[in-house]
Amino acid sequence: MGRQFLAVAAVFVAVGCTGSQSDESPLSPSTSAVMASSAVAGPTVIAEDLEVPWGIAFLPDRTALIAERDSGKIRHLLPNGEVSDIGEIPGVSARGEAGLLGLAVSPTYDTDQMIYAYLTTDDDNRVVALRFDGTVLGEPDPILTGIPAGAIHDGGRIAFGPDGALYVATGEAGDKLLSQDPSSLGGKILRLDADGSIPADNPTPGSPVWSLGHRNVQGLAWDDAGRLWATEFGANTWDELNLIEPGNNYGWPYAEGSAGIDGFTDPVLQWRPSEASPSGLAFLDGSLWVAALRGERLWQIPVGADGSLGEPQSLFEGEYGRLRTVVATPDGALWFTTSNRDGRGTPAEGDDRILEIRPVP
């Protein structure tokens, strides 16, 4: 696929931490001053003929691991473009939105050779640790079990933060009130140590819950200042981009989008599901990048040093179908995946694919 240069402006709704705005509201002055990159180079095809690629994580040698949702396989993408199977995770129960989902690589992989996966079993969603020596994938060791599971709203994104803790995004599995139940692992962002123990500085002693009141979080990313951002599927009205603070309650099911309800934290950006259904999230080159499923596009949202957001850009609208995952690569590029074989898309030749772009200075 040839290289191309593009940037497409889009209408988006910025909201404050309290109160609400209609879909006709313009961007506030505090956000519009931050500008997005004017162009990107690409995309180029990195890999193709994948089966619903969901999680991507990079090893220290810059090769990539890919989790396929429905097959339960972890695949290894080498620099020459070759994709090999390194193993199938036992016990994966793929149904609806469930299956083998997020992947993460230990920040101390050079010494422990550990990787982590989020998967659905017949009974629950769970996080497992596995040893991978570059050739052979070891047996999964569950470090967190009992996350509610269903055919919908399984969350699934996992990522190590700048603090070395493992963050886990979960969904409420279709049972809305679980999001507000502090004793449930559903509808939360969780924070763990790498061995599954609970960090002493979590908001509630003895609880892995970092934030609650979420419907279905599938994107986690930290910006250069260490702020944690998360993308979240709404129901019928608003999808969300949230700035995550420990212990905060983001309102679901009593709030969808910016509701201005005391005790709940409103999203910093919201948009209609037809424009988004946001899944993967990455931070690169001063911007957040959001992969949109129903919206069939990639969103670029510039972030100021103070956390203010600029005018979003809509890229590749309708060109590649449903987009699931987006990750920043070790060499400064951005990868995003199609998700057209997930039962809700229309596969094109080569789907599902990993595509690469590079911001142009």
pLDDT digits (tens, 9 = 90+) for 271-296: 999 999 999 999 999 999 999 999 99
What is d(CA 293, CA 274) in angstroms, rounded to the nearest whole number?
Answer: 9
pLDDT above 90 for 4: no
Give the C-alpha separation, 220 to 156, whole Å.
10
Select from 75, 72, 123 the least CA-distant residue to 99: 72
pLDDT-derived band at 177, boundaries 50, 70, 90: very high
Domain boundaries, the chain: 1-16+37-49+281-361
Let me know: does 289 contact 299? Beta carbons within 8 Å.
yes
Take residue 201 and report the two structure tokens written for it.
Answer: 């500085």
- How does residue 79 score in pLDDT terms, banded at 50, 70 and 90? confident
Q: Three-state SS across the chain?
A: CCCEEECCECCCEECCCCCCCCCCCCCCHHHHCCCCCCCEEEEEEEECCCCCEEEEEECCCCCEEEEECCCCEEEEECCCCCEEEEEECCCCCCCCCCCEEEEEECCCHHHHCEEEEEEECCCCEEEEEEEECCCCECCCEEEEEEECCCCCCCCCCEEECCCCCEEEECECCCCHHHHHCCCCCCCEEEEECCCCCCCCCCCCCCCCEEEECCCEEEEEEECCCCCEEEEECCCCCCEEEEEECCCCECCCCCCCCCCCCCCCCCCCEEECHHHCCEEEEEEECCEEEEEECCCCEEEEEEECCCCCECCCEEECCCCCCCEEEEEECCCCCEEEEECCCCCCCCCCCCCCCEEEEEECC
pLDDT in tens, 190-248: 999 999 999 999 999 999 999 999 999 999 999 999 999 999 999 999 999 999 999 99
18: left (phi over 0), alpha (psi -120 to 50) or beta: beta
| Predicted TM-score of the model (pTM) | 0.92
Distances (CA, A) of 36 to 65, 256, 266, 334: 30, 27, 24, 15
- pLDDT higher than threshold 60 for residue 29: no
For residue 110, report the phi and psi dihedrals to the nearest 5 degrees.
Answer: -60, -25
